Amino acid sequence: MTKNTFSKIVGAFIILSTTVTAQNKSLLMKPAKKYFSMPAGVYQSDYTANTLMAAVKPQYRSLCTSNAINNHYLNQMLSQIGVSAVVKQFPNELPPERAVNKLGQKYADLSLTYRITYTSNLPIEDIINHLYAVGIFEYVQPHYIPKLCDIIPNDPDYSSQYALPQIKAPQGWGIEEGDTNVVIGIVDTGVELTHSDLKSNIKINYADPIDGIDNDGDGYIDNHYGWDVAENNNNPTWQSNPHGVHVSGIADAATDNSNGIAGVGFKCKFLPVKISDASGTLIAAYEGIQYAAAHGCAIINCSWGGVAGGPYGQSIVDYATINKNALVVAAAGNDGLNEEFYPASYQYVMDVASVGNTDAKSSFSNYGYQINVCAPGENIYSTWPGNSYSYDSGTSMASPCAAGVAAIIKSYFPSYSGLQVGEQLKVTCDTISADNPSYPNELGYGRVNMYKALTQTSSPSVEFSNQAITDNNDNVFTANDTLRITGNFTNYLAPATNLIATLTDGSSPYVTILSNTATLGAIPTLGVKNNFSNPFEVLIKPSAPLNQVINFIINMKDGMYSSNYYFSVIVNVDYINVTINDIATTITSKGLIGYDGNNQTQGLGFTYNGSRPLLYEAGLMIGDSATTPNVSDMDRGTGSSIDNDFQSMVAVHNIIPTQVSDFDLDGTFNDNGNSTPLPVLVHHNAYAWSTPGNLKYVIVQYKIKNTGTAPLQNMFAGIFADWDITDSTYNQDRAQFDSIEKMGYAYYVGAHPIYTGIKLLSHSAPVMHYAIDNDSSGSGGVNIYNGFTISEKYKVLSSNRAKAGMQPTGDDIADVVSSGPFNLNPGDTAVVAFALIAGDSLADLEASADSAQVKYMTSVPLSVTEYQSSKSVVLEQNFPNPATQTTSIIFNLPQKSLVDLSVYDLYGRIIAIIAHGEELSGSHQYNFNIGGLSSGIYYYRLSTETVSLTKKMMVIK
């Protein structure tokens, strides 16, 4: 099953501050790039202290042994966090022989999964992010400890086992009583092996009798009755918490044995897998899933979970589902919220919510689009320690009920895969929407029905997967982009004869669906079709706010069969990726370069020829000292804060067709986020080329206007860049200055270095360069490890320091290239432009710097300052062009003049008068609403007392 769930994007930024001597600098001193953020609502009690789960990338398999990963920089890092063990989590697992199964689903590789334990008391997030930065891990995450999903009621007089007739179990057992070869893995707190209503249904491993020998060679000695994964022994008897005893009885207590209760699974067997320690803490939950799958369980029940997920858990679920063909069934959680809960919310897991005896959602049960099915979970009577019985409530009780039904389905349809069993369970549920009007589409397919699951086999069950969304450009979805949505439609059950998929947007006012239907036609059982040749198409309207979430539904219908797939897309993001040449970087709407938001989770960083990101953070800084120094920027600030000074006015966007380069960007921001704002308006552009000689740089230009009523004095503007040329050894870099090229550059001092540079292109003010040793002692010019203050920022903008990292082994460095001073009167504009460059050597960097200077002088439009000194009137191309709703027209007048600005159609008729008889001078921007115009070509004309200029614009609806 593919999880139908809205995606969430969570970002955070934490600066790590540690104290070490300059002579013995720790690799852990510098804040790591933000590859990982702790999920909201997770606390220290929710994961094992000083323990990490990690998976090595397959290309580094040769570095891996059972108790080590032989990478020099990793071992340096591990030494500094006081590593006590690096061991393979599943030493008996071998890599899959093939990458994918016949449906294209990827096999999980658990052979490179490690458990890392350490002694350091550094924040776990920082340790994880530093380990990620080494570059050899697929993932690194905490070892989460989930919670049991039960609620102890105080109503002991409820009728015994009302759930069985509710799910039509007696009728179902009349068809199938269960196969003893079908085993339910009860991954929980353990069982009472001697309970009279459980012992006969426990799956016995006769191949490994209790004799102190691993007779079956599976790596576990005497796992005759199951296994205690938490304490690594052969006794799965419960300790501290009898939760697993109750869950086992619901799923599979012995039935028709003239004793106690009936289990839903009837004659099916169950395998007790204990995952809790002596205190009842679930320290080995996902490891328990792996054990159950590796030991033949067709159904695996998980009546536990938490709000934290992560790739480790998903990899275990993938292993159980794809590698071992099992169905994982899990509790939805008891918070009464619409929230994701793991493992239930993982892809391929059957997510079970709870209902009571009237099919109304239990008040404690979670709900949402991620739910697959419901089952009774209130006041459920089941086995209890001391050969007794008790009531309990929770999604913990609903999950084994559904798992028992799944086991009966598997018994009756033995050829079904685990996923097919799950799909049959879903499509045969009883509809309960009338009983739950407050939860439309948020309780999955309904409440499970065993009888229907065995008798109704004519329905297809189609899942949408391998979703791809593209705009055929930079895949950063901004206003006027057309999204193309494609994916696979996999039918798990009866053949579909005429499947039609329809996309809807929940009546969002910010998008227009241009193509909403994909006719897939007939799809056989286990057949796959896609809509690659006929994608869904969605236009993002210019009115969409920044970072707007659009919720979509794909309805799949074939006759009476109907199913929904839910997903969301963030549109009109305030950054754009530049990827058309050897440089790949991100330009944001608020002055940041490389990453949006200083947390390294959105954006490409700065790469060269497919390298890892070479940049930790970068962005524009503007400072003046009219009274006391004041600096506006979006870079790190004091403590763990960042300076959110710039605010977007016109989000960065592509100019189409391009006017200057092969990839033109334009945007505008101001300083209104600053508590003591500089009165500046910044119109910024970026340009990149894909032609030989121009492949190794991107040009950025900033037109900074004084919008205040007082002069800006001694103003400087520049780019701060914290370079990490080689990520795992960021303290082995060097920064220097090339005065001829007006370029600050950085490089790795080791073998095969990459060079990066920032070159000043504009000539309206002198170049300044300040190289920073990121040194906590303060001997590196400024100490930005303990916070980057306003005075420090103004210092690096307005003064010079030629070199950093001059020790033989280099240092952790940052570099600032700026221009100034400017003295701007109210209304005046300063222009600064830079080339962001990368190369294989200093000579290579210098060659690209020369090419960038020529391009800037010959191709980039005149700066506003140059406009103002020009004798000519300048009319710029409107943007965006083509346009759909609004477009901007900019012109510059060297002296005061009466101005007319009008729009004409192809026949010369006036469509709109934007300005008439206004006396103006200098640079001006008019935003023109074209919502009432039809698609086509139009002209706009600027007329003054001395000249008339005309340009063409396009309107597309």
- Residue-wise pLDDT tens digits, 595-639: 987 667 778 899 998 887 899 999 999 999 866 789 999 988 876
Q: What is the pLDDT of residue 547?
A: 78
- How large is the C-alpha radius of gyration of the chain? 32
Per the CB < 8 A criterion, the answer to whether 831 and 863 are in contact is yes
More confident of the two residues 14 and 381: 381
Q: Which of 143, 195, 224, 243 is catalytic?
A: 243
Q: What is the pLDDT of residue 674?
A: 81
Q: Which DSSP string corresponds to 501-521?
A: EEEE-TT-TTEEEEE-EEEEE
More confident of the two residues 724 and 33: 724
| 852 CB burial (10 A radius; 0-12, 13-18, 19+) | buried
Q: What is the pLDDT of residue 2?
A: 44
- CA–CA separation, 318 and 346 (whole Å): 9
Q: What is the mean pLDDT of residues 234-238?
A: 97
| 553 CB burial (10 A radius; 0-12, 13-18, 19+) | middle
Q: What is the pLDDT of residue 908?
A: 81
Q: Which of 109, 188, 635, 811 is catalytic?
A: 188
- CA–chain centroid gap for 45, Å, is 24
Residue in 930, 875, 934 with CA at minimum distance from that of residue 903: 930
Q: What is the mean pLDDT of residues 196-221?
A: 95
**Residue 621 Rama label (left phi>0; alpha psi -120 to 50; beta):** beta
243 tagged catalytic:
yes
Q: What is the pLDDT of residue 254?
A: 93
The residues pairing with 404 across neighbouring beta strands, listed in sequence order, are: none
- CA–CA separation, 146 and 700 (whole Å): 48
- CA–CA separation, 428 and 415 (whole Å): 18
- CA–CA separation, 253 and 241 (whole Å): 19
Task: Write down the pTM of the prediction.
Answer: 0.73
Q: End-to-end alpha-carbon separation of the chain, Å? A: 39
Q: What is the mean pLDDT of residues 491-496?
A: 96
Residue in 563, 267, 555 with CA at minimum distance from that of residue 423: 563
Q: What is the mean pLDDT of residues 105-113?
A: 94
Q: Is it the case that residue 10 has pLDDT exceeding 50?
A: no
pLDDT tier at 19 (50, 70, 90 boundaries)?
A: very low
Task: Tell me how far CA of residue 198 lies from CA of 236, 313, 323, 368, 398, in angstroms.
Answer: 13, 29, 29, 34, 19
Q: What is the mean pLDDT of residues 896-904?
A: 92
- Residue-wise pLDDT tens digits, 637-684: 876 567 889 999 888 888 888 889 999 999 999 998 887 889 999 999
Beta carbons within 8 Å of 6's beta carbon, 6+ residues apart: 369, 551, 566, 567, 568
Q: Is it the case that residue 939 has pLDDT exceeding 80?
A: yes
865 sits in which H/E element = helix 864-869
| 904 CB burial (10 A radius; 0-12, 13-18, 19+) | middle
Q: Is it the case that residue 566 has pLDDT exceeding 90?
A: yes
- Residue-wise pLDDT tens digits, 134-188: 889 999 999 999 888 765 445 344 358 899 999 999 999 999 999 999 999 999 9
396 tagged catalytic:
yes
- CA–CA separation, 255 and 266 (whole Å): 5
Residue in 314, 499, 490, 303 with CA at minimum distance from that of residue 395: 303
Work out the percent of the chain whose per-residue pLDDT is above 90.
67
Per the CB < 8 A criterion, the answer to whether 917 and 897 are in contact is no
**Alpha-carbon torsion 810, 812, 816, 817, what sign?**
positive
798 tagged catalytic:
no
Tokens of 831: 């222009």
pLDDT tier at 407 (50, 70, 90 boundaries)?
A: very high
- CA–chain centroid gap for 118, Å, is 27
- CA–CA separation, 828 and 426 (whole Å): 67
- Residue-wise pLDDT tens digits, 297-321: 999 999 999 988 889 999 999 999 9
> Half-sphere exposure (CA, 13 Å, Cβ side) for 921?
10
- CA–CA separation, 580 and 587 (whole Å): 13
Q: What is the pLDDT of residue 26?
A: 61
Tokens of 308: 């934290």
Q: What is the mean pLDDT of residues 867-892?
A: 72
Task: Tell me how far CA of residue 143 lies from CA of 100, 250, 668, 940, in angstroms.
Answer: 27, 29, 44, 63
Count Cβ atoms below 10 Å from residue 838 Cβ, excluding itself. Answer: 27
Mean pLDDT, the chain, as a whole number? 89
pLDDT tier at 454 (50, 70, 90 boundaries)?
A: very high
Q: Which of 248, 362, 382, 396 is catalytic?
A: 396
